[in-house]
Amino acid sequence: MTENSPLARLAALGLALPPAAAPVANYVPVTRAGHLLFVSGQLPVAAGKVDPAHQGKLGAQVSLEAGQAAARLAALNVLAQANAAVGDLAKLRALRLGGFVNATPDFQQIPQVVNGASDLFATVLGENGKHARAAVGVAQLPLDAAVEIEATFEIIA
């Protein structure tokens, strides 16, 4: 691991890639089409379950800060899936991030929640972490997760 590699940047944040989670329904976690890698939506799962702090609705049970932490953890799981697919995060450039936020109808800080994921991509992947994005409020997510993150990457090496 070189000093400025994505894994070194993760370690500097006190983070490590978790094992890539197996799908829990009829889908695959990653699909590759040519030089594009599509990572299915990932939840803020650690040790096989969603932490209760990352369950519920933003604007009700979940604070902005807890939502951002949930988005960051879900993004870490996206990176784990991408790394499992290509073997090296340095081979990837983020193209698009999709963020889904389990929120009350009046919650207005959906983009700020998804910043938890965007900021992680930018920090870990550096210039290759800059991406287009959608941040969408939804009525419910699987396992009552506060956030779900999906991404599309270009394989560059």
Inform me whether the pLDDT recorded for 126 exceeds 90.
Answer: yes
Residue 51 has pLDDT above 90, yes or no: no
Q: Please report, rounded to a whole number, the percentage of residues in the chain having pLDDT higher than 90.
A: 92
Spatial distance between the Cα atoms of 21 and 84, rounded to a whole number of angstroms: 10
Give the pLDDT mean for 24-39.
Answer: 95
Averaged pLDDT of the chain: 96
Placement of tokens 């409020």 in the chain = 137
Tens-place pLDDT, residues 63-110: 999 999 999 999 999 999 999 999 999 999 999 999 999 999 999 999
92: which 2 tokens? Answer: 């990837």
The band of 1, judged by pLDDT with boundaries at 50, 70 and 90, is low
Looking at residue 75, what is its pLDDT? 98
Q: Which fold has domain 6-155?
A: 60s Ribosomal Protein L30; Chain: A; (3.30.1330)
1-15, 121-135, 142-156: which range is least confident on average?
1-15
pLDDT score at 157? 76
The CA distance from 94 to 89, in Å, is 10
**The CA-based dihedral angle spanning residues 109, 112, 116, 117, taken in that order and rounded to the nearest 10 degrees:** 90
Cα 6 to the center of its chain, rounded Å: 15
Backbone phi and psi for residue 31, each to the nearest 5 degrees, phi listed first: -130, 135
Q: Where are the domains of the chain?
A: 6-155
Residue 143's nearest CA partner among 39, 21, 19 is 21
